[in-house]
């Protein structure tokens, strides 16, 4: 698509865009995959040691331990997406890597849960690193080729994920949970060095200003609402946490009716086309369901089926099997989704991923909660779902957004990933907490709670099918190299103008 912004500043001719594989492109892809390996160490690796972290900080609020970085990422993403369009994607990516590295160090030395969560908030900057790698690809590759490259970059880090659970299982036994955050900080530093040294500057920049107040109000509102969901189970739904819900709702309403209407809001929700909006709905529910299941798997691994609780998949190598082998699925899902998108568009691989996730949730609910082999199979299917949903979500956004808004629009996808992940993870935590039982003198999760948790994730996949069907209908005439103008930002602006 052509640049429609009068204020956009082109720094590199569009005909310099790469249309195929060269040594230079391979080098760029390798560096961007390294960045996303760091993102995985921030978002996925802590789930391997959730029970150890809960014991270390004497808390049952494991959802905060796991999801605080993703929640912070929902606040970071719009700010950094807009900043990338204005100041350059490489510069902002380096900044996010440095901040995420500092967050890993804070988590490493944290003496208390509050300091640890602060470190996770800083690590949340890594969430922006993922969508910035996608925006950079769109900046240096031709549109059709960029879909293929996006699939490789967003899922290529899964190669590291194949072996990392086995390594981390041994390393955490030897050195404790802190080893996870040492790895994260090291990867952040190395990635920042290579990005600054080899990744080219942005081809297009767009003058503008950054709505910091809007981002903080939106992020703060989400945090307060989710705090209510997390804390209500312990302190009562009509008790002290109710104030958090009221404050959060007020902040979200203030943002929607006031701050979202300013000339340059942090998220321009009125500029989102119907097609992009449908895609974002699918992403928020689908990725949220997958991430919440990832959290549940970590808890199931800590329980032996011999305990007779009706769930539990602990056993030799369970951690590596549940999180290592399925990493192949993430890689395959992303790469295949990118290849298909380049031919018939991103909507169909998005739908395929959703169907796989629904099937896996059903199997897990019926027979997989206490069977390691079936659970590994379901985890593999869900990882195919994850690779397909994330890659297709970014590809959908990239073809619908003009060049000068790639950072901003890609950040919307990441916000949806973060909001879905955090919302369903906290909701799942509340479901488990509401169904706890006493077993051999200890308070543990019940089989009813675990199965209700899986049912919640399955319902999210099912509900996502509604916008998915509408999206397929809207994009039935899509051609990979061309998007009808009425489906794009320019089409919305033209209709409103």
| Residues 354-370 pLDDT 10s | 999 999 999 999 988 89
Distance CA 147, CA 36 (A): 17
pLDDT of residue 496: 46
Q: What is the pLDDT of residue 462?
A: 95
**477 vs 121 pLDDT, higher one:** 121
Q: Is the pLDDT of residue 10 over 60?
A: no
CB proximity list for 161: less than 8 A, separation 6 or greater: 40, 44, 323, 324, 327, 330
How large is the average pLDDT for residues 239-261?
87
What's the sign of the alpha-carbon dihedral 334, 339, 343, 348? negative
Closest CA to 205 of 410, 394, 407: 407
What pLDDT does residue 12 have?
47
Is residue 165 predicted with pLDDT exceeding 60?
yes
Residue spans of beta strands (DSSP E) within 142-221: 204-205
Q: Which residue has the higher pLDDT, 29 or 176?
A: 29
> CB neighbours (10 Å) of residue 305?
17
**Window from 30-39, 90-99, 195-204 with minimum mean pLDDT:** 195-204
Range of 7-11, 50-54, 133-137, 485-489 with top mean pLDDT: 133-137
Encode pLDDT of 377-419 as tens digits: 999 999 899 889 988 988 888 777 776 677 777 788 877 887 8
Q: Considering the chain, what is the average pLDDT of its residues?
A: 81
pLDDT at 29: 92
Residue 117 Cα distances to 68, 225, 245, angstroms: 7, 17, 20
- State pLDDT tens for residues 207-236: 777 788 887 888 788 778 877 876 676 677
Q: What's the pLDDT score for residue 62?
A: 61
Q: Is the pTM of this model over 0.75?
A: yes
| Rounded average pLDDT over 52-81 | 73
What pLDDT is recorded for position 322? Answer: 81
Residue 31: closest CA among 192, 259, 170: 192
Output the pLDDT for position 105.
92
CATH class, 17-210+266-496 region: mainly alpha
In this model, does residue 457 exceed pLDDT 90? yes
At 68-122, the pLDDT tens digits run 777 777 777 778 888 888 888 899 999 999 999 999 899 888 888 788 888 888 8
pLDDT of 5: 37
Question: How does residue 63 score in pLDDT terms, banded at 50, 70 and 90?
Answer: low
- Residue among 291, 318, 289, 323 nearest 305 (CA): 318
Taking alpha carbons only, the member of 414, 373, 448 closest to residue 128 is 414
pLDDT at 481: 47
């Amino acid at each position: 698509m052509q640049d429609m912004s009068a204020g956009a500043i082109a720094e590199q001719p569009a005909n310099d865009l790469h249309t195929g594989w060269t040594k230079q492109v391979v080098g760029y892809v390798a560096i961007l995959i390294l960045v996303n390996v760091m993102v995985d160490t921030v978002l996925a690796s802590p789930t391997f040691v959730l029970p150890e972290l809960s014991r270390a900080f004497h808390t049952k609020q494991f959802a905060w331990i796991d999801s605080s970085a993703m929640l912070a990422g929902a606040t970071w993403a719009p700010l950094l997406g807009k900043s990338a369009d204005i100041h350059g994607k490489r510069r902002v990516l380096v900044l996010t890597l440095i901040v995420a590295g500092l967050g890993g160090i804070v988590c490493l030395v944290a003496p208390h849960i509050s300091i640890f969560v602060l470190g996770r908030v800083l690590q949340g900057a890594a969430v922006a690193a993922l969508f910035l790698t996608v925006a950079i690809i769109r900046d240096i590759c031709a549109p059709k080729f960029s879909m293929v490259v996006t699939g490789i970059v967003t899922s290529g880090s899964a190669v590291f994920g194949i072996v990392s659970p086995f390594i981390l299982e041994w390393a955490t036994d030897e050195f404790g949970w802190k080893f996870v955050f040492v790895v994260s900080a090291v990867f952040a530093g190395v990635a920042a060095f290579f990005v600054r040294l080899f990744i080219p500057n942005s081809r297009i920049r767009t003058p503008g200003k950054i709505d910091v107040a809007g981002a903080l109000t939106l992020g703060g509102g989400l945090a307060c609402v989710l705090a209510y969901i997390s804390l209500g189970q312990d302190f009562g739904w009509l008790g002290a946490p109710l104030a958090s819900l009221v404050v959060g709702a007020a902040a979200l309403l203030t943002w929607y009716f006031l701050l979202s209407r300013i000339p340059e809001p942090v998220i321009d929700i009125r500029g989102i086309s119907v097609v992009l909006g449908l895609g974002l709905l699918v992403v928020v529910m689908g990725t949220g369901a997958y991430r919440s299941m990832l959290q549940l798997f970590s808890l199931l691994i800590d329980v032996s089926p011999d305990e007779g609780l009706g769930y539990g998949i602990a056993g030799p190598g369970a951690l590596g099997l549940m999180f290592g082998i399925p990493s192949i699925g993430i890689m395959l899902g992303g790469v295949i989704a990118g290849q298909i998108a380049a031919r018939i568009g991103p909507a169909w691989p998005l739908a395929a991923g959703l169907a796989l996730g629904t099937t896996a949730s059903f199997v897990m609910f019926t027979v997989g909660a206490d069977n390691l082999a079936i659970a590994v199979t379901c985890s593999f299917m869900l990882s195919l779902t994850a690779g397909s949903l994330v890659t297709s979500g970014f590809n959908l956004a990239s073809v619908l957004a003009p060049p000068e808004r790639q950072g901003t629009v890609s950040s919307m996808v990441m916000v949806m990933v973060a909001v879905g992940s955090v919302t369903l993870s906290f909701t799942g935590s509340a479901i488990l907490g509401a169904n706890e039982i006493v077993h051999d003198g200890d308070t543990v999760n019940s089989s009813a709670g675990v199965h209700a948790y899986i049912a919640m994730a399955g319902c999210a996949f099912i509900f996502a099918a509604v916008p998915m069907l509408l999206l397929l209908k809207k994009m039935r005439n899509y051609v990979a190299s061309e998007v009808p103008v009425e489906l794009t930002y320019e089409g919305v602006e033209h209709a409103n103008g």
